[in-house]
Amino acid sequence: MSDVYLNEKFIGTIKNPFNFINEIKEERRKGKLAKELNVLYDENSDEVYLDFSKGRARRPLILVRDGKSLVTEEIKKELKDGKIKWSGLVERGIIEYLDASEEENSLVALNEDELTKDHTHLEVGKIVILGLTTAHVPFANFGQSPRLNRGSKTQKQALGLYSANFLVRMDTDSNILHYPQTPIVRTFMHDLTNYDQHPAGQNIIIALMSYEGYNMQDSIIINKGSVERGFARSTFFRPYVSEELRYSGGLVDEICIPDKDIKGYKSEENYKLLEEDGITYPEAEIAGEEVIIGKTSPPRFLGELEEFSIAANVRRESSSMIKHGEIGKVDAVMITENEEGNKLVQVRIRDQRIPEIGDKFASRHGQKGVIGSIVPETDMPFTSSGVIPDLIFSPHSLPSRMTVGHLLEILSGKIGSLAGRFIDGTAFDAEDEGDLRKELLSLGFREDGTEKLYNGVTGEEYKVNIFIGNMYYMKLKHMVANKLHARASGRIQLLTRQPIEGRSKGGGLRLGEMEKDCFVAHGASLLLKERFDSDKTLLYLCEECGMLAIVDKYRNRKFCPKCGSNVEITPIELSYAFKLLLDELKAMCIYPQLKLKSRYR
């Protein structure tokens, strides 16, 4: 007797579990039981589980009877003629959905020709071994698996048309590609996911060659002409939000141009973009440290301070400033109310991003790289028919990575653009390479995809034929404009007097321990000292006791708190961090004594 559970609840026992589950499956296939029902017989615990609860991941499989797929030639013909669709196959019990538990009782074949009598199901296609994004990689079965992983990872970072209503949305940090295209070389998954509706790349001409060494180590060279025609141009959007909050005691925030006498008033220059309502106008040019939404807040701790300070009831400044280092234009201003009925202001900033040196690009095969040089169109190599590549890719990126799909995509992309058709590059099911080559030959090109190219500067013919073709390229979200970072002087930490950290705060870049070692190894001793001068301080030392003395600048008096003013007090230059170390030593009852001697003796 085996126990039977329905949706994890015990409902009874059954004598012959095998017959029972087979009967259930048959009834379900006939349509007498719900298609959502899945059944599992666990032989170890002798229990039958029936389940039609929601939230289970299920996947479709073709049924197999006596070692033969139920998708027969007749059905294939019907499918071709459009007489039957997917839903019809499910209805007829040819395809069924299994959940993880029912799979335990099944034997699934990946290929039709490996079917045996024991098999119960057949996969719908070989592509199901790949995930959603990996299935978007054309000719994926020609590549190495780690490269496929990287290829699907880079596709997720590609800029494109993520949503058609982006103009009315206020997504944090979004990017829109200006002229997105649907790929010429596509997979079956592009149709399934409506890729045409939200493409994320462009079909470009790519040549596999080196050019003055500017595409070393995975960097790429792009054509300035292409950039000017709009290749890989994108817009970056960032919304800023401000809300009129209500506080206890009837006090509220106010969105306005802050008065000059409020606490924390910046400077008139910072507020110049604000209109009378305290909000910037659309299309306002933002060049740096400007306020976009002016706001004042009521003073903190009202009442307590009123007795002691006359300035206590002055309102505070709490405007929204543009993020450090960002520029752009005000794209849209939205004024509304939120759920609590507070006034809510959202201002969206837009910034056009034209490809520049350092922007990251990738093909769909895990071949990513940054722009090393943007070459004027006149200097780019060209073919005998006058075609100029948009991008020059280094051939050294290929042998060690073995991304054959990359090459096949270039080849088939060339055919696709010449013949004016899409090429199917679905993994395991792609168009045959031999046929593609023949087609290219019939189109009047060399079948291996190479062409004679001419040096764009000298006009000389290159001695070798160069592989050139079309390929789908993606601009990735990592752009130098978001990463560029330099600082001459700026804010410092209160405790250590060293520069603060972080790009967004305008901090410094740390010259760490290993970098220091590098300076030392080169013997650049004085340069190293200069680097570490960021926290240098002038201290006065009592030579009597070797501790820090006090300098009273008002009375122009130097003295040691221990030895008095009748001692030798000498100025010394040290890092402030070391002064802190001395202080900490003193706090642990260690007496650090500094003894001075002349440097020249």
Partner 1 sequence: MIESYKGKIPDLLIEEFEKISKEDNLTKIQKEAVLKALEKRYDSYKVNPGEAVGIVTAESFGEPGTQMTLKVFHFAGVSELNVTVGLPRLIEIFDARKEASTPSMEIYLKKPYNKDIKKAKKLAALIKEVKLRELSNEFLINIIKGHIEISLNKRNMRDLGIKDDLMINSLKNKFKKTIVRKSAGGNIIIKPEGETILKDIYKLKEKVKETFIRGVEGITQVLPIKQNNEFVILTMGSNLKEVIKLDLVDETRTISNNIFEVASVFGIEAARESVVYEAKKVIEDQGLDVDVRHILFIADLMCSSGVVKGVTRSGVTSEKESVLARASFETPLKHLVNAALSGEEDFLNSVVENVILNQPVPLGTGLPGLVATMKKNVK
400 is a contact residue toward partner 1 (CB under 8 A): no
Which member of 77, 525, 562, 571 binds partner 1 (CB under 8 A)? 525
Binding range to partner 1, per CB under 8 A, among 114-122, 411-419, 522-530, 556-564: 522-530
Among 57, 164, 488, 588, binds partner 1 (CB under 8 A): 588
Closest distance to partner 1 from the beta carbon of 552 (Å): 22
Quote the least distance from Cβ 594 to partner 1, whole Å. Answer: 10
Which of 516, 550, 557, 564 lies at the binding interface for partner 1 (CB under 8 A)? 516
CB of 153 to partner 1, least distance (A): 21
Provide the minimum distance between the beta carbon of 482 and partner 1 in the complex, in angstroms, as a whole number.
29
**Any contact of residue 585 with partner 1 (CB under 8 A)?**
yes
Q: How far is the CB of 472 from partner 1 (least distance, A)?
A: 33
Q: Name which of 211, 226, 204, 203 is nearest 456 in CA terms.
A: 211
Query: Rounded distance, CA 2 to CA 252, Å?
Result: 69
**C-beta closer to partner 1: residue 479 or 569:** 569
Distance in Å, CB of 583 to partner 1, minimum: 13
Dihedral sign computed on CA atoms, order 410, 415, 420, 422? negative
Q: Are 571 and 540 in contact (CB under 8 A)?
A: yes
Decide: is 14 part of the binding site for partner 1 (CB under 8 A): no
Residues 553-582 close enough to bind partner 1 by CB under 8 A: 573-575, 577-578, 581
State the minimum distance, in angstroms, from the CB of residue 512 to partner 1.
Answer: 12
The identity of residue 44, as a single letter, is: N
121-123 vs 108-109, strand pairing mode: parallel
Residue type, 296: T
Task: Tell me which of 54, 523, 555, 566 binds partner 1, using CB under 8 A.
Answer: 523
Angle at 280 between CA 293 and CA 320, to 5 degrees: 20
Residue in this structure with the two tokens 């967004």, named with its chain if needed: 504
522 binds partner 1 (CB under 8 A): yes
Among candidates 409, 414, 397, which has minimal Cα distance to 220? 397
Residue 136 · residue 187 · CB < 8 Å: yes
Choose, by CB under 8 A, the member of 43, 435, 533, 583 that binds partner 1.
533
Please state whether beta strands 536-542 and 47-51 pair in parallel, antiparallel, or not at all (unpaired).
unpaired
Span 282-341, contacts to partner 1 by CB under 8 A? none
574 three-state secondary structure: strand
How many Å apart are CA 525 and CA 512, to the nearest integer?
Answer: 15
552 burial (CB, 10 Å; 0-12 / 13-18 / 19+) is: exposed
497 contributes a contact to partner 1 by CB under 8 A: no
- Listed ranges 81-89, 388-396, 467-475, 511-519: which one lies at the site for partner 1 (CB under 8 A): 511-519
Strands (E), 523-565: 536-542, 550-552, 557-559
> Closer CB to partner 1, residue 47 or residue 544?
544
Q: How many positions of this chain bind partner 1 (CB under 8 A)?
A: 32
**Which CB, 336 or 400, lies closer to partner 1?**
400
| Contacting range for partner 1; rule: CB under 8 A; set: 214-222, 412-420, 497-505, 587-595 | 587-595
Based on the shown chain and the rule CB under 8 A, indicate whether residue 521 belongs to the binding site for partner 1.
yes
Smallest separation (angstroms) from partner 1 to the CB of 520: 5
**Residue tagged active-site, from 42, 218, 277, 424:** 218
User: 308 vs 600, which CB is nearer to partner 1?
Assistant: 600
Q: Least distance from C-beta 478 to partner 1, angstroms?
A: 24
For partner 1, the closer of residues 241 and 492 by Cβ is: 492
Contact region with partner 1 (CB under 8 A), list: 306-314, 316-324, 449-457, 589-597: 589-597
Cα separation values, 509 from 84, 386, 486, 512, 523, Å: 64, 47, 8, 9, 22
Among the listed residues 100, 110, 192, 520, the single contact to partner 1 using CB under 8 A: 520
- If you ran DSSP here, which 8-state letter would residue 598 be given? -
510 scored as a contact of partner 1 (CB under 8 A): no
Determine which residue in the list 310, 311, 486, 590 makes contact with partner 1, applying CB under 8 A: 590
Structure token digits, residue 365: 């095969």
Nearer to partner 1, 168 or 589 (CB): 589
Asked whether position 596 contacts partner 1 by CB under 8 A, the answer is no
- Residue 524 binds partner 1, judged by CB under 8 A: yes
| Strand partners for 370 | 360
**CB–CB of 299/310 below 8 Å?**
no
Told to judge if 277 belongs to the known catalytic residues of this protein, a careful annotator would answer: no
Angle, CA of 566, 570 and 574, to the nearest 5°: 145
Contact present, 35 and 27 (Cβ < 8 Å): no
- The DSSP result for 269-331, as a single string, is GGGTTB-TTSBBPTT-EE-SS-EEE-EEEPPSSTTTTTTT-TTTTPPEE-PEEPPTT--EEEE
CA distance 73 to 71: 7
Q: Which is nearer to partner 1, 489 or 593 (CB)?
A: 593
- In eight-state DSSP terms, residue 152 is H
The nearest distance, CB 540 to partner 1, in angstroms, is 15
**Residue 528: exposed, middle, or buried by beta-carbon count in 10 A (0-12, 13-18, 19+)?**
middle
Residue in 238, 87, 233, 262 with CA at minimum distance from that of residue 174: 238
294 alpha-carbon distance from chain centroid: 32
Q: Which of 526, 538, 553, 556 binds partner 1 (CB under 8 A)?
A: 526
Q: How far is the CB of 537 from partner 1 (least distance, A)?
A: 9
C-beta of 54 vs 595, nearer to partner 1:
595
Q: Rounded to the nearest 5°, which phi and psi values hold at 5?
A: -120, 135
Binding part of the chain for partner 1, among 100-108, 195-203, 450-458, 513-521 by CB under 8 A, reads 513-521
Are 394 and 218 in contact, with CB atoms under 8 Å apart? yes
Of 75 and 528, CB closest to partner 1? 528
Stretch that binds partner 1, among 170-178, 349-357, 470-478, 530-538 (CB under 8 A): 530-538
**Identity (one letter) of the amino acid at 186?**
R
CA 43, 45, 47, 48 torsion-angle sign: negative
Q: Which residues are catalytic?
A: 218
- Positions touching partner 1 (CB under 8 A) are 516-518, 520-529, 532-533, 535-536, 573-575, 577-578, 581, 585, 588, 590-591, 595, 598-601
